[in-house]
Amino acid sequence: MNVLAIGCHPDDLEISCFGTLARYVREGHQVTACHITNGDLGHVEILPDKLRDIRNREAELAGEVIGAKVVTLDISDLSVDSMQDSLNKEMVRIMREAKPDLIISHAPQDYMRDHIEAGAMAFKASFHASVKHKYPEYTATGQVVPIYYMDTLAGVDFLPTEYVDISEVIELKLEALACHESQIVWMRDHDGIDFLDFVRTCSKFRGLQCGVQYAEGFTQSRVWPRLTTRRLLP
């Protein structure tokens, strides 16, 4: 299968679904990890232009850890707008190149507007990607695919309906997350947050819910024609 994961910022996918993506890669599937923004506003001391380059490189390194292709729309933080046609067009281009059998993205109840808009963009663009005469310069996929919403930060107001056992890849997930050194070090030194432990704890909590050591939780977009009888998650 072809799997397309769409996160808002560099490191969002690593936090919420990189264990699942690592399992897909191990099972021989093609995985594309797309981050919409470049993370340029995600630091107090590092200026945006420099941070943009740092964070894009961190995302590439994280993708290499699990064997995923990494792409970006490379827009500034706090500017994600699912109604902006130019962004929608770029997302459609990425979808038509990736030809996904399923999409993973942010849940509608996530904690900040950029995340919510990223999930909305995934929903909107995935329908547009199936319409032949919408952006005809890119070959249409011809299908509307299932969307799975990944966990919110700390699992707040998110009750999974499906789980993926990531016990065998939890260290790989954390290795990929550790590539985002600009964020990990900043939160540790200035906010007193051990973010690697934070994510490990969340994965352990989801594992407790479904009877394994570590897990990631998802819900499915329950609208026609995105439902399927197939088990698409690993």
Per-residue pLDDT band for 190 (boundaries 50, 70, 90) equals confident
pLDDT number for residue 120: 98
Per-residue pLDDT band for 141 (boundaries 50, 70, 90) equals confident
- CA–CA dist 86, 125 (Å, integer): 11
The pTM is what?
A: 0.97
pLDDT number for residue 53: 97
DSSP string, 60-77: HHHHHHHT-EEEEEEE-T
Indicate the average pLDDT of the chain. Answer: 96
CA-to-CA dists, residue 46 to 42, 49, 73, 163, angstroms: 9, 9, 21, 37
The tens digit of pLDDT for each residue in 74-122 reads 999 999 999 999 999 999 999 999 999 999 999 999 999 999 999 999 9
Domains and CATH numbers, the chain: 2-220 (3.40.50.10320)
- CA–CA dist 12, 137 (Å, integer): 30
pLDDT number for residue 189: 87
Per-residue pLDDT band for 191 (boundaries 50, 70, 90) equals confident
- 139 token code pair: 């070959």
The tens digit of pLDDT for each residue in 196-228 reads 999 999 999 999 999 999 999 999 999 999 999
